[in-house]
């Protein structure tokens, strides 16, 4: 296995180094790595008598060194570990992206984490919820960090508050999700109870028997909650890319995740049945990955049975292909650019329609309409105001990144019968008029007419000169949306049964669905 592990910043300066096999001269090794590393080099590099496995995550580089004599080393193991370790750190520090300072602030903690997750190079655990029971070094939160940087006034933020913010940020998914879903009274209750449970968890489950050596290694014994709840969220990300002009669909995929939050006492057994399983959806069965707690239904079983870990976990990840003929949930119906050269105007219009159940509606919906090409092909006169019109929502002009943002928010579902459209009008540069004006300015004694409002043309020039000529004008009209209560694939939980033999408590399972866009969802126009 690996001989030593480094965490370095972008300049390959070591932030943390951990010597696993008592190798002398770690610095020398790192120098060697520096000499062979380039940002483009593949994840495994060999130099003199060492192999380096490195992965890059949010401005940090995780490097593991394998000695050339150590033939048993498994790169896959190491790469997976580094990847998992990164997510462990993120969970532990309760942030979405790590940076150099955060690592430097928590060196001891990270060293302990490394210590605990590997024994003699053999990986033991990388599960954050179990780790929490082992390592109780306090996390240095960003609040503390700012003291160093900005000497903030209230340095002694009280513990309680600190902890709460940590918890809160530790579960961004849940809270964002809840904020996203606006209506529904029981949702609000959701938030409260969840928050309450957090506190309860702290007081009741502070001591937990060591779980790593138990048969069910992902769950500790003696967990207790006053209110036993289980939250299950089915979140599907739809990836869709289509070339609008040629009508070729490049991508049409669903990336699904079933995210659970378990606040259950004791050792509960859960049974969950999915319609996809009972329908024997071949694709689902073969393209899903389950959490380690699930023993995969061997054959023809309709349900999965498992003992859940405590807290947050991802029960299942799946990937489904959609048929080419399946309509995208949000479809671009028309997109056009109409130059009216005589009037020195250019019009751009776009229409979208929805394809999901009529009783659902989107909670957020944004369209980014690219303008770079328009600006390249036509000489647009930004001195004259551009005009925007839309059936619903508002249109914003992002001048620095060359796009129009059409922010719709709520749009009803339907099957092609709900349509919304927008139009934008820009003025084209009128040379004749411009010359006339210049002439007039030269000859007349009047000062040039006053203009109020931002001078877009200057802004535009400023932004675009700084960047230099952009090589490729983006053609992607991307959409961002969120549709609660529906799944694109039609996946449904048929039933969810919670069973704890000894405690026999009443429990509350919550199930929700939501479909969101993937990073890649849009049309090339």
Partner 1 sequence: MSDQRIFAKYKANELRAELQVFDVKKSKTSAHKRKDALRKIIANLTMGNFTEMAFLYPEILKFWKIEDDLEVKRICHEYVRSLGSAKPKNAAEALPYILDDLDSRNEKVQIMALETLVAVPSPRFLEEATKTIISFINRRVIPPTVTKTAIYASEQIDFTENATRSHLLTLLLKFVERENTEPTLQVAALHALHTIHEKNIDLQPLRLPIDVAFKLLDLLPQLNEWDKALTLDSLTTAAVPESHDDAYEMIDIALTQLQHVNTFVALNAFKFIAYLLNYVDHVDENLIKRFSNSIVSLLNKPPEIQFLVLRNVILLLLSRDTPLLQLDVSYFFIEFNDPIYIKDTKLECLYLLANHGNLPRILEELEQYATDIDIQMSRKALRAIGNLAVKLDKESASDCVTVLLDLLEFGVDYVVQEIITVFRNILRKHPDDFTSSVKELVKYNDSVQEPESKNAMIWIITQYSCDIPNYLEVFKVFSSNILEENLEVQYSILTSSVKFFVKDPVPETEEICLQVLKICTEETNNPDLRARAFMYWSLLSMAHSSKNHIISAEAVKSVLDGELPVIELNTKLDPLVLEELELNIGSIASIYLKPVSQIFRSSRTRHLLQSPVLNKDRSNLKILSGSTSTVNLEGFDSLPEMVSHSSSDRSSSTAARKKMMNDYDKPAEKVNQLKGRRKSSVTSPSKISRKPSLLVRKLSMRKPF
Using CB under 8 A, which residues numbered 397 to 416 contact partner 1? Answer: none
Question: Within 10 Å of residue 435's Cβ, how many Cβ atoms?
Answer: 10
User: What is the enclosing helix (H) or strand (E) of 484?
Assistant: strand 476-484
Touching partner 1, residues 479-498 (CB under 8 A):
none
d(CA 54, CA 477): 35
Task: Tell me the β-bridge partners of 297.
Answer: none
Q: Which of 210, 221, 280, 387 binds partner 1 (CB under 8 A)?
A: 210
- Residue 23 interacting with partner 1 (CB under 8 A): yes
Structure tokens at 363: 């909670």
Least separation, in Å, of the C-beta of 302 and partner 1? 17
Touching partner 1, residues 264-323 (CB under 8 A):
286-292, 295-296, 298, 314, 317, 319
Least separation, in Å, of the C-beta of 85 and partner 1? 12
d(CA 113, CA 381): 58
Structure tokens at 203: 């007081």
Q: How far is CA 163 from the centre of its chain?
A: 24
Q: At what angle do helices 172-180 and 185-204 cross, to 10 degrees?
A: 160
- Residue 324 interacting with partner 1 (CB under 8 A): no
Closest residue by Cα to residue 293 from 277, 302, 305, 284? 305
Least separation, in Å, of the C-beta of 318 and partner 1? 8
Structure tokens at 427: 């003025």
State which residue, 186 or 325, has the beta carbon closest to partner 1: 325
- Residue 107 interacting with partner 1 (CB under 8 A): yes
- Residue 203 interacting with partner 1 (CB under 8 A): no
d(CA 495, CA 422): 43
Q: Which stretch binds partner 1 (CB under 8 A): 35-43, 340-348, 356-364, 494-502?
A: 35-43
The CB-side HSE value for 13 (13 A sphere, CA atoms) comes to: 5
- Residue 127 interacting with partner 1 (CB under 8 A): yes
Binding mask 211-240 for partner 1 (x = CB under 8 A): -xxxxxxx----------------------
Least separation, in Å, of the C-beta of 54 and partner 1? 8
Q: How far apart are the first and last CA of the chain?
A: 50
- Residue 255 interacting with partner 1 (CB under 8 A): yes
User: What is the enclosing helix (H) or strand (E) of 56?
Assistant: strand 50-57
Least separation, in Å, of the C-beta of 180 and partner 1? 25
- Residue 150 interacting with partner 1 (CB under 8 A): no
What φ, ψ does residue 248 adopt, rounded to 5°? -90, 130
State which residue, 22 or 341, has the beta carbon closest to partner 1: 22
d(CA 1, CA 196): 43
What residues contact residue 471 under an 8 Å CB cut-off, 6+ apart? none
- Residue 474 interacting with partner 1 (CB under 8 A): no
Contact 367, 477 (CB under 8 A): yes
- Residue 140 interacting with partner 1 (CB under 8 A): yes
Binding footprint of partner 1, residue count (CB under 8 A): 81
- Residue 144 interacting with partner 1 (CB under 8 A): yes
Touching partner 1, residues 39-58 (CB under 8 A):
40-44, 46, 49, 51, 54-57
State which residue, 232 or 408, has the beta carbon closest to partner 1: 232
State which residue, 158 or 183, has the beta carbon closest to partner 1: 158
Touching partner 1, residues 71-90 (CB under 8 A):
71-77, 79-81, 83-84
Q: Which of 9, 132, 133, 145 binds partner 1 (CB under 8 A)?
A: 145
What residues contact residue 209 under an 8 Å CB cut-off, 6+ apart? 220, 221, 222
């Amino acid at each position: 296995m690996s001989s030593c592990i480094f965490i370095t910043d972008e300049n390959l300066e070591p932030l943390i180094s951990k010597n696993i096999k008592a190798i002398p001269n770690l610095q020398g090794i790192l120098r060697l790595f520096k000499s062979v590393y380039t940002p483009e080099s593949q994840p495994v590099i060999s130099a003199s008598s060492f192999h380096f496995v490195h992965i890059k995550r949010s401005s940090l580089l995780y490097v593991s060194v394998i000695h050339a004599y150590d033939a048993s080393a498994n790169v896959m193991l190491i790469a997976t570990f580094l990847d998992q370790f990164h997510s462990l750190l993120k969970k532990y520090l309760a942030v979405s992206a790590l940076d150099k300072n955060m690592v430097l602030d928590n060196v001891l903690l990270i060293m302990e984490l490394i210590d605990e997750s590997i024994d003699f190079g053999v990986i033991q655990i990388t599960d954050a919820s179990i780790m929490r029971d082992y390592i109780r070094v306090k996390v240095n939160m960003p609040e503390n960090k700012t003291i160093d940087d900005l000497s903030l006034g209230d340095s002694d933020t009280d513990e309680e508050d600190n902890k709460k913010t940590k918890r809160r940020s530790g579960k961004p998914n849940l809270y964002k999700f809840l904020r996203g879903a606006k209506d529904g009274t029981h949702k609000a209750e959701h938030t409260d109870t969840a928050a309450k449970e957090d506190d309860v968890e702290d007081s009741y489950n502070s001591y937990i028997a060591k779980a790593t050596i138990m048969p069910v290694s992902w769950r500790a014994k003696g967990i207790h909650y006053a209110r036993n709840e289980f939250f299950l969220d089915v979140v599907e990300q739809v990836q869709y890319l289509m070339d609008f002009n040629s009508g070729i669909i490049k991508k049409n995929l669903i990336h699904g995740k079933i995210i659970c939050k378990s606040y259950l006492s004791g050792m509960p057994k859960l049974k969950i049945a999915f319609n996809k399983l009972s329908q024997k959806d071949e694709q689902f069965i073969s393209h899903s990955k389950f959490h380690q707690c699930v023993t995969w239904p061997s054959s023809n079983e309709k349900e999965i049975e498992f003992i859940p870990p405590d807290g947050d976990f991802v029960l299942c990840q799946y990937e489904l292909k959609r048929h080419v003929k399946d309509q995208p949930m949000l479809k671009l119906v028309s997109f056009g650019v109409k130059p009216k050269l005589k009037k020195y105007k250019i019009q751009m219009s776009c229409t979208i329609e929805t394809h999901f159940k009529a009783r659902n509606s989107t909670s957020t919906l944004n369209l980014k309409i690219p303008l770079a090409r328009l600006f390249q092909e036509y000489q647009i006169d930004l001195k004259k105001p551009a005009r925007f019109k839309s059936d619903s929502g508002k249109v914003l002009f992002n001048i620095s990144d060359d796009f129009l943002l059409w922010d719709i928010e709520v749009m009803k579902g339907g099957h092609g019968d709900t349509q919304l459209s927008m139009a934008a009008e820009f003025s084209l540069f009128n040379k004749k008029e411009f010359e006339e004006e210049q002439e007039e300015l030269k000859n007349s004694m009047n000062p040039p007419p006053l203009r109020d409002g931002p001078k877009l043309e200057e802004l535009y020039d400023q932004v675009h000169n700084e960047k230099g000529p952009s090589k490729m004008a983006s053609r992607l009209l991307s959409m961002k949306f969120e549709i609660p209560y529906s799944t694109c694939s039609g996946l449904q939980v048929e039933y969810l049964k919670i069973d704890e033999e000894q405690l026999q408590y009443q429990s509350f399972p919550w199930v929700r669905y939501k479909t969101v866009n993937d990073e890649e969802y849009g049309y090339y126009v």
